[in-house]
């Protein structure tokens, strides 16, 4: 008879990391639990969809000039409300807010900084495709009492934790605190996050790539060369066929890569020469790079490790190449040769 194994909850996982391994302080564990609770609420809102008027435009633009969807705004508010009173945070920053959100003085303040992309993959909302939430945790520099933008300007190597939730066929939470990558599935009957994977690994080799091909005419030569070689398949220099997938939500593409490998690319291109890519460093690229590296993969902007980039603003953009190590190293080498 096989012995049934009791499922491990998110709380148990974090308590073990805090108490038994001593890898995170108790306050960080509590903060991560609050973030997970907020993601649960967002998941509920997402799943109600049209029934609760969740779809469609909010009628406003965010700081980056993008039209906000109702769910962008709802997810942002859910994360702010859930996190502002717990006493673990000094401040928050979000894709949907121009500046720093300091914890109101009526609440106790903690020592952490939380960054998030409340709703990733906004263009998928109205077509019922996968979307998610991405987050990153930093430490407020010592001695600072009034957190400001400058205190968030820390490279990704200083992240204490990072993760994402995917609102897809299942709701998942994928998390790292620097001890590998663990995956939890939301049990919608009991409301608990149950571990459904630990020590996720991105294979070094892959036959799958992810890029928005409609931008091909705007790419720079190293990206053209790399993708042309993939497209040439077994008759080309790579000597094998590659498959392509594009979810249009980074969470979806990164999650697939954490499950079975692949390379995800959002390069800078010639459309807006001054703009270094589309994705945002602080709350998209850095947390995803931390997760992918913790799973044995790599993440660069074409020339530099993403997590070593010194940020200059909350909404800095960056080119992204991440996933299976051998492919990321190859496309990075093509940039360097260029």
Tokens of 293: 């590296």
Stretch that binds ligand AHG, among 39-47, 113-121, 176-184, 324-332 (CB under 6 A): 113-121
Q: Among Mn ion, ligand AHG, none, what binds residue 176 when CB lies within 5 to 8 Å by partner kind?
A: none
Tallying the residues shown for the chain, one arrives at 338
Secondary structure (DSSP) of 153-208: ---GGG-SEEEEEEESSSEEEEEESSS-EEEEEEETTTTEEEEEEES----S--SE
Q: Is 270 in the site for ligand AHG (CB under 6 A)?
A: no
Q: Is 311 in the site for ligand AHG (CB under 6 A)?
A: no
Q: Which is nearer to ligand AHG, 123 or 128 (CB)?
A: 123
Q: Using the rule CB under 6 A, which residue among 34, 110, 120, 219 binds ligand AHG?
A: 120
Q: Are 152 and 312 in contact (CB under 8 A)?
A: no
Stretch that binds ligand AHG, among 15-23, 121-129, 150-158, 186-194 (CB under 6 A): 121-129
Q: Which is nearer to ligand AHG, 64 or 190 (CB)?
A: 64
Q: Using the rule CB under 6 A, which residue among 122, 286, 301, 332 binds ligand AHG?
A: 122
Give the contact letters, 69-98, x = binds to ligand AHG (CB under 6 A), - = no.
Answer: --------------------------x---
Q: Among ligand AHG, Mn ion, none, what binds residue 147 when CB lies within 5 to 8 Å by partner kind?
A: none
Span 314-333, contacts to ligand AHG by CB under 6 A? none
Strands 192-198 and 208-210 come out as unpaired
Coil vs helix vs strand at 92 = strand
Q: Is 121 in the site for ligand AHG (CB under 6 A)?
A: yes
Coil vs helix vs strand at 279 = strand
Q: Among ligand AHG, Mn ion, none, what binds residue 267 when CB lies within 5 to 8 Å by partner kind?
A: none
CA distance 252 to 248: 8
Beta strands in 215-323 (DSSP E): 243-244, 263-266, 279-280, 298-300, 317-318, 320-323
Q: Is 253 in the site for Mn ion (CB under 5 A)?
A: no
Q: Are 174 and 166 in contact (CB under 8 A)?
A: yes
- Report the b/e string of 288-317 with b at 16+ CB within 10 A: bbbbbbbbbbbbbbbeebbbebebeebbbb
Stretch that binds ligand AHG, among 44-52, 160-168, 247-255, 297-305 (CB under 6 A): 247-255
Q: Is 117 in the site for Mn ion (CB under 5 A)?
A: yes
Q: Is 250 in the site for ligand AHG (CB under 6 A)?
A: yes
For the bound state, the minimum distance from the C-beta of residue 299 to Mn ion, rounded and expressed in Å, comes to: 16
Q: Is 286 in the site for ligand AHG (CB under 6 A)?
A: no
Q: Is 212 in the site for ligand AHG (CB under 6 A)?
A: yes
For the bound state, the minimum distance from the C-beta of residue 264 to ligand AHG, rounded and expressed in Å, comes to: 8
Q: Which is nearer to ligand AHG, 19 or 271 (CB)?
A: 271
Q: Is 269 in the site for ligand AHG (CB under 6 A)?
A: no
- Comparing CA positions, the residue from 118, 20, 5, 144 lying closest to residue 62 is 118
Coil vs helix vs strand at 333 = helix
Q: Is 269 in the site for Mn ion (CB under 5 A)?
A: no
CA distance 81 to 27: 18
Q: Which is nearer to ligand AHG, 64 or 243 (CB)?
A: 64
Tokens of 36: 């997970």
Q: Are 147 and 102 in contact (CB under 8 A)?
A: yes
Interaction site with ligand AHG (CB under 6 A)? 95, 117, 120-123, 212, 248-250, 278
């Amino acid at each position: 008879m096989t012995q049934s194994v009791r499922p491990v909850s998110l709380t148990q996982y974090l308590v073990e990391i805090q108490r038994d391994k001593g890898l995170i302080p108790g306050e960080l564990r509590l903060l991560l639990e609050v973030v997970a609770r907020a993601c649960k609420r967002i998941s509920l809102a997402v799943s109600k969809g049209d029934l609760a008027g969740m779809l469609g435009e909010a009628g406003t633009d965010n700081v980056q000039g993008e039209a906000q969807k109702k769910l962008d705004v709802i997810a942002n508010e859910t994360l702010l409300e859930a996190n502002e009173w717990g006493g673990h945070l000094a401040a928050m920053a979000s894709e949907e807010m121009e500046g720093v959100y300091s914890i109101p003085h009526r609440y106790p303040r903690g020592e952490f900084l939380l960054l998030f992309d409340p709703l990733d993959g906004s263009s998928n909302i109205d077509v019922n495709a996968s979307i998610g939430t991405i987050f990153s945790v930093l430490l407020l520099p010592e001695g600072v009492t009034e957190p400001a933008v400058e205190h968030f300007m820390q490279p990704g190597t200083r992240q204490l934790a990072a993760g994402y939730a995917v609102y897809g066929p299942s709701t998942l939470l994928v998390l790292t605190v620097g001890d590998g990558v663990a995956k939890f599935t939301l049990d919608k009957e009991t409301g608990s996050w149950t571990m459904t994977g630990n020590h996720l690994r991105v294979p070094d080799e892959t036959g799958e790539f992810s890029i928005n091909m409609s931008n091909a005419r705007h790419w720079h030569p190293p990206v053209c060369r790399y993708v042309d070689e993939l497209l040439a398949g077994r008759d080309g220099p790579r000597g094998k066929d590659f498959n392509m997938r594009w979810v249009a939500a980074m969470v979806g593409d990164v999650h697939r890569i954490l499950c079975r490998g692949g390379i995800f690319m959002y390069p800078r291109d010639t459309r807006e020469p001054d703009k270094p890519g589309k994705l945002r460093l602080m709350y998209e690229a850095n947390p995803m790079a931390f997760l992918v590296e913790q799973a044995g993969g790599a993440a660069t902007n074409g020339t530099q490790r993403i997590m070593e980039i010194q940020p200059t603003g909350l909404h800095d953009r960056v080119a992204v190449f991440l996933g299976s190590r051998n492919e990321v190293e190859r496309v990075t080498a093509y940039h360097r040769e260029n």
